[in-house]
Amino acid sequence: MRYVATADVAELAVQCVDNPAARNTVIPFGGPEPISQWDAVKLFEEEFGRPFSVTEIPAQALQTQWKASENPMEKSFVSLMLGVARGFDAGMDPPFEKFPMQLTTPREFVRRMARNN
């Protein structure tokens, strides 16, 4: 998963306002580096200096929930969780030549959260 910082999303949105390269197009966007769910948990534990309680939901349980979902919103949400559980990674860097920016690494993001906590 290529986690993207909220400030980076905001920065790209601001750059798109008056940028002709953003007109009528889809801009690929993701965080600067792929990390697993477990690596993300480790980052939080390292930066906050304590263990986090984690509940792992097996992909099979998510598949069962997806099949049983009647609500479209629930089905979409479960689909996203199932994709992550299966290692889906659609994130990519934006075209930096059109949208120059420095992306925040997952460690930088978590470190800022820990400092502000």
Could you tell me the residue range of the domain that residue 105 belongs to?
1-34+89-117
pLDDT tens digits for range 5-36: 999 999 999 999 999 999 999 988 888 988 88
Query: What was the pLDDT predicted at 90?
Result: 65
Does the structure show a pLDDT above 80 at 89?
Answer: no
As for how many domains the chain has, the answer is 1
Cβ contacts of 59 within 8 Å, gap of 6 or more: 82, 85, 86
Query: What was the pLDDT predicted at 10?
Result: 96
Is 13 domain-assigned?
Answer: yes
Is 66 domain-assigned?
Answer: no
- The number of angstroms, rounded, from the C-alpha of 81 to the middle of its chain's C-alpha atoms is 12
Is 78 domain-assigned?
Answer: no
What whole-number distance in Å separates Cα of residue 2 and Cα of residue 29? 9
Cβ contacts of 61 within 8 Å, gap of 6 or more: none
Is 60 domain-assigned?
Answer: no
Is 106 domain-assigned?
Answer: yes
Is 76 domain-assigned?
Answer: no
pTM listed for this prediction: 0.78
